[in-house]
Structure 1
Amino acid sequence: MDKQRIGILGGTFDPPHIGHLIMAQEAAEQCNLDKVWFMPNASPPHKQENGVSPGNDRVEMAKRLIDKVDRFKLLLIEFEREGPSYTVDTMKELKGKHPDTEFFFIIGGDSVEALHTWDRIDELVEIVTFIGVKRPGHEFESPYLDKIIAIEVPLIGISSTMLRERFRHEKNTKYYVTEEVREYIEVNRLYDKR
């Protein structure tokens, strides 16, 4: 039996947006993935805790983002254990739980170039294949290029930081996020004070 091919798209998802959907769909299509699991970080070690929305809000937004897409699934493994969420620990745990699955970790170009700073990266690249999303016409620079499948995705200039600002200042966010995510943010006034 062929191994199932699963892509993992991790992030703070604060908020999740259409760029995440496009990235996941393109990785799935171009790399022949069976599913993409969206994995919100519980306690991202590289982000200040007070600068990130509460985990329950980020989980709910991610859930609403992918709710109608059969190929996408929510993965809450990092909320099931305490402490900082290091990708190497998460992937070891996933490999133990799903030994017949081939895992791919989907990252953007900025993460590719910072890969050498990830915790226990030499160990991590031996247990997971990275899918690096390139900006059209831009080449990666990384000592781990031989461990990365490079794919090109249409340039979507949306960031969660930009969206938080747009919500805070009540600027247009239509089509940047799904209606379900936008409604959740507005009803709960998530970015009014930050």
Structure 2
Amino acid sequence: MKVGLMGGTFDPIHIGHLLAAQSVCEQAELDEIWFMPVNVPPHKEAAPGATAQQRWEMANLAVEHHPKFRTTNIELRRGGVSYSIDTVTLLRQQYPGHHFYYIIGADMVRYLPKWYKIDELIKLVTFVGLERPGFDSGLAELPPAIRESLLLVEMPQIELSSTRIRERRAAGQPVRYMVPDRVNDYIEVNRLYES
């Protein structure tokens, strides 16, 4: 089975995440995409605005009706800082028949050489970089071994971020249509991201 792994804080998960996952699923011909809310991302300083449990629940609501989308709480259960090598090693032990594709944004492609234990990681997964029109991912500067373990897919252009959604909520503005309807309802009922 070919499985895409989409990690992130998902604070909150939004339609940009879902569009990216759908693009990868189609272009890389994957069987499933697993959304993995991270516990503590190694590259972000600010704590998430929602609790780990709330981020997990929103991810589940966002993907519940998609036949190829799933969630996994592997990183939340493990706790601590979420390093990709630890997660992938664990997943490969649990699912030996699966081939994993690790989905990253165009802005992360150039930083792959700096990833923790990247030389080991590229032997365990295929990276999928989301290409954005007019954005140079730095592919040409990557070491050959990393470049060979990387697949690029086109991403529909959408200017949306979890940060922007949190800012709109803090300003009392609606976020409907930026997040799936059930996620919007959850955010409103739980009064998330209000100032």
Same fold (TM over 0.5): yes
The more displaced of 50-59 and 5-14 is 50-59
Distance in 2 (alpha carbons) for counterparts of 1:121 and 1:170? 42
Map 1:63-78 to 2 at 5 A: 63-78=60-75
TM-superposition CA deviations, 1:21-59 (whole Å, max 9, x none):
100011000001000000000122222363442100100
Among candidates 159, 166, 174, match of residue 164 of structure 1: 166
Q: Unpaired segments of 5 or more residues in structure 2?
A: none
TM-score calculated relative to the size of structure 2:
0.92
1:151 alignment partner in structure 2: 153
Distance in 2 between residues matched to 1:117 and 1:12, nearest whole Å: 20
Q: Would you say the 8 A contact 1:43–1:49 is kept in 2?
A: no
| Conserved 8 A contact 2:49-2:192 | no
Match 2:94 to one of 97, 119, 122: 97
Structure 2 counterparts to residues 16-55 of structure 1, below 5 A:
16-48=13-45, 50-55=47-52
- Aligned-partner Cα distance in 2 for 1:28–1:50: 30
CA distance in 1, matches of 2:75, 2:48: 18
Give a deviation string over 1:2-26, Cα, whole Å, max 9, x none: xx10000100000100001100011
**Separation of aligned partners in 2, 1:10 and 1:43:** 11
| Paired amino acid for 1:159 | S
2:23 counterpart letter in structure 1: E
> Structure 2: how far apart are the matches of 1:57 and 1:138?
33
1:78–1:68 CA distance, 2 compared to 1 (3 A): same
Cα offset, 1:71, TM superposition: 0.5
Q: Distance in 1 between matches of 2:192 and 2:68?
A: 28
More moved, 56-65 vs 110-119: 110-119
Contact 2:104 2:128 in 1 (8 A): yes
Equivalent residue number for residue 180 of structure 1: 182
Contact 2:11 2:48 in 1 (8 A): no
Separation of aligned partners in 2, 1:147 and 1:16: 27
Q: How far, CA to CA, are the matches of 1:169 and 1:121 in structure 2?
A: 40
TM normalised by structure 1 equals 0.93
CA distance in 2, matches of 1:83, 1:174: 32
Contact residue 49 and residue 193 of structure 2 kept, 8 A: no
In structure 2, the residue corresponding to 1:39 is in which secondary structure?
strand
Counterpart amino acid of residue 95 in structure 2: H
Counterpart amino acid of residue 19 in structure 2: I
Residue 14 of structure 1 aligns to a residue in which SS?
A: coil
| Cα distance in 2 between the residues matched to 1:122 and 1:170 | 46
